[in-house]
Amino acid sequence: MAKMETISVNAYAKVNFTLDILGRTGGYHRLDSLVCTVGLSDSVTAVRRADGRCFVAIEGLDAEALPRANKPVRAAEAFFYAFGGGGAEIRIVRSVPVGAGLGSSSADAAGVLKALALLYGIADMGAVKRIADTLGSDTGYLLTGGWARMTGRGEQIEPLADMPPLWLLLVLPHTGMDTAACFAEYDRRGESFSPCTQESIDRLRAGRLSPKCFSNALTQAACARNADIARALETVHAVSAYGGGMTGSGSACYAVFAEEAACLAARASCPKDMTALCVPTVPQK
């Protein structure tokens, strides 16, 4: 069998439909979150090299905002440290904004690991996921995506079957949100919220789509730090009877629809100073 010389994969964004915070353990917040990947992605292409060297080139949306030692670079370094190999030329073309709660750099890191595993024939995806889990709380999940329940720090993944396909109107403020700052604000406020992830899963599986399906404990903290998130949420709740919310620590928000046509029609109601995208949920890849 001939060796593959080039492999390309999509690095899908994710949306948190719920985000419960259950306390802290070892300095980390313990989470319980219903997530799914959506039809917005970066592209990752890896080309085999024979000289043992690895280069990562990143272009497109927000590429200049990434630090030099970014997650995709660290993912490539960790992969070759663990598995060896001849090296690779990696090109990432970004479409998912940074600081939006959509996974972004974690998705790129997962895409790099997936592409390199395919390029070099690594079948032990459990070992690949262990690398991913060192790079970010949702990086391991984004290796496969789809509907899932994420618990712990986000490294414990339970894939979910029998979940409905949905259409989402993503409302993206042009101002981002720093994850650490959002969690710090949540801690400072000292608020507590009743967990809702299991109830949301049960409602969606039963076809009882409603605003009660969507909740995020970080919403008030994020709105306190970024007024644009509050504006985006106002739009979300105005355009969909099914509701929606904020994903991750923001700043992106989403409105939920059962059909594409309704999602497209609602896009015209979005603020002109924000980006609005209609995307479907994407099953596990």
Residues 234-251 have pLDDT tens digits of 999 999 999 999 999 999
Confidence of residue 2 (pLDDT cuts 50, 70, 90): low
Q: Does 156 have pLDDT greater than 60?
A: yes
> Which residue pairs, CB below 8 angstroms and at least 24 apart, start in 261-268?
262/167, 263/167, 263/168, 263/169, 266/169, 266/239, 266/240, 267/169
Q: Active-site residue 14, yes or no?
A: yes
Q: Does 147 have pLDDT greater than 60?
A: yes
Q: What is the pLDDT of residue 86?
A: 86
pLDDT tens, 165-205?
999 999 999 999 999 999 999 999 998 899 999 999 999 99
State the chain's mean pLDDT as an integer.
95
- Measure CA 243 to chain center: 20
Q: What is the pLDDT of residue 137?
A: 87
Q: Active-site residue 272, yes or no?
A: no
Q: What is the pLDDT of residue 1?
A: 46
pLDDT tens, 70-125?
999 999 999 999 999 889 999 999 999 999 999 999 999 999 999 999 999 999 99
Among 129, 138, 187, 228, the one annotated catalytic? 138
Give phi and psi for 78, each to the nearest 5.
-70, -35
Q: What is the pLDDT of residue 285?
A: 76
Q: What is the pLDDT of residue 66?
A: 86
How many Å apart are CA 41 and CA 137, to the nearest integer?
19
Q: What is the pLDDT of residue 4?
A: 79
Amino acid at 84: G
Among 14, 71, 114, 129, the one annotated catalytic? 14
pLDDT tens, 266-284?
999 999 999 999 999 999 8
How many Å apart are CA 184 and CA 224, to the nearest integer?
12
User: Could you tell me the pTM of the whole model?
Assistant: 0.95
Written as six digits, the tokens of 159 are 């894939």
Confidence of residue 138 (pLDDT cuts 50, 70, 90): very high
